[in-house]
Structure 1
């Protein structure tokens, strides 16, 4: 079968690899429809391997080379002999986090913090940018007719964004500032708006700002042209935002978040910082501000996110800016997303070879 395989930094090849064969106990064989390219994938391509293991992973012994793709939907082709929760022919979305179920965190329901966590498409034998993949049956959720194949591939990043907003305890009537309008920031805006929040988005990249504007749920601000903190405070009677979802992983954006949030407000650090960031901790204390990091999402969130999409409350498809063939994954996917002058926000790969 064909698959997009990561070998090393700037070395992803679409090549023929052995297929997975039939699923074993507790497994399902899936034919992926669409698979998103994530920021984590981009980091691996630009600087990796980082998360992808060079030595056998402690949970499942996987290691380089790695079939990529952890944001995907697909059709079930076959199920293992003991699987009754899903059947061949059904459409599903895959929750990619793999966990031991036995460590301190797993036993407390914090499976996304498992001490030996792995992920389909990053530290597992199979991935979603391939013609076939085997995944645990417990990790697939059936897609209703109201949810398209494309929307099903966006459940994973939507869960990341929703967790960021939920961690900031956003509720109806809140004013929310989102810093960064990449895929997660855009999805966070859609989710916060669905709750009933008033949303502002700060974004410096014109292409991303245009996509954010097209969502129709937020006022989009260019931090190079206006003082975002002053603007938000002016619109809130001098108070500031009830919550800030920091989605850029940028030092200046985090500083803006701290300055723009109201006293006793909440900041959710959802974007991943790849280097240290300088802040004034005294401001957190003086203003009673809660700054919380987020990692992934609760592994049980798939049915809830799928239901929101099915009912039209979470139009995740609005963030997609390109749909490409597997053969074009490097040039039109990874290179386009990493280009400083690129105009792509969310690229989905058609995993079915043409």
Structure 2
């Protein structure tokens, strides 16, 4: 079968590999779509800095390079392994791709997404979504209802990242919010806030392409390089500041602007990965009793919530999601790195 295989830093190949067979408790999927994630860019350009061990097997999966990519994906069940129940051939599914140890301090608290030795199917595993087929544990499957197609199904994973961030924010229906960054996760946060009953939202984004895309969805958008973000937030909140703010940009200035526009007792949620350190003035936290928290990945219940919201028609992919084939993945990674485009789904049939 054809697959997109990562061999090392800036070494990505489309090649023929063996078609997998499901073991006990597993299913075989015919993959439909797999998203190209910011994590894929980190792995491609700086695998060691992204936490990928290029020399040793993963402690949970035993996987080593080369690695089939694609950890945000959806497909159709085509074969069941021994002992699989509750899933049938023909089911269309999204995959919760996390491998966790179940024993570390995070896992003992139920925070499987923060496992100390976490792995991901399609990053540190025996397969991934950027292949014609893959095998996964049946326990990782989330069956899609008829109203959610496989294209949306491949977006469950990144949208669950955003949903989890909104859950971590603690925002209540009717609250106010600021989103710094209108990439795929920022867009996902905007949708998730709507799903939580939060309509009073400002999105701050310097890229004209990304501003236009999220504005077309109905968002209130500010260009922080040419507009007074603080004045727009004050206008939105009658001078109070926002209840919650989200760093979906991964740059220090985004966190700084989020902190500066918080209401007293507000909370900043950092959901983006940062490549550089930043400085901030801790007294900002003290004087307003504000908080900074991190949000990593998702839990299975976040997948369920996103799928239910998709079934209710909350999500719209118009203008920010494009499709490419296997052969275009590497050039698409280069394009995303240079700031072109927003979200790309890799189709196994393109």
- Report if TM-score (shorter chain) is over 0.5: yes
How far did residue 219 of structure 1 move? 0.7
Does the aligned pair in 2 maintain the 1:52–1:66 contact within 8 Å?
no
Aligned to 1:8: 8
Show structure 2 runs of 5+ residues with no match: none
Aligned to 1:348: 345
Size of the aligned set, in residue pairs, is 347
Q: Which runs of 4+ in 1 moved over 4 A?
A: none
Does the aligned pair in 2 maintain the 1:171–1:195 contact within 8 Å?
yes
Rounded to whole Å, the distance in 2 between the matches of 1:57 and 1:194 is 36
Indicate how the Cα distance of structure 1 residues 85 and 73 shifts in structure 2: closer, same or farther if over 3 A, else same.
same
Rounded to whole Å, the distance in 2 between the matches of 1:60 and 1:27 is 14
Aligned to 1:277: 278
1:257-296 equivalent positions in 2, closer than 5 A = 257-296=258-297
Does the aligned pair in 2 maintain the 1:320–1:348 contact within 8 Å?
no
Aligned to 2:207: 205
Aligned to 2:166: 165
Per-residue CA deviation, residues 101-121 of structure 1 (Å, 9 max, x unaligned), is: 233322321111222211001
Per-residue CA deviation, residues 180-221 of structure 1 (Å, 9 max, x unaligned), is: 0000001101111232211100000111111110111x2100
Rounded to whole Å, the distance in 2 between the matches of 1:320 and 1:35 is 15
Per-residue CA deviation, residues 258-313 of structure 1 (Å, 9 max, x unaligned), is: 00011111111111111111111111011110111111112332222111110113
Match of 2:301, SS?
Answer: coil
2:158 is the counterpart of 1:181: no
Does the aligned pair in 2 maintain the 1:101–1:111 contact within 8 Å?
yes
How far did residue 94 of structure 1 move? 0.5
How far did residue 170 of structure 1 move? 1.6
How far did residue 48 of structure 1 move? 2.0
Does the aligned pair in 2 maintain the 1:52–1:63 contact within 8 Å?
no
Show structure 1 runs of 5+ residues with no match: none
Rounded to whole Å, the distance in 1 between the matches of 2:335 and 2:103 is 41
Higher mean displacement: 40-49 or 263-272: 40-49
RMSD (CA atoms)? 1.3
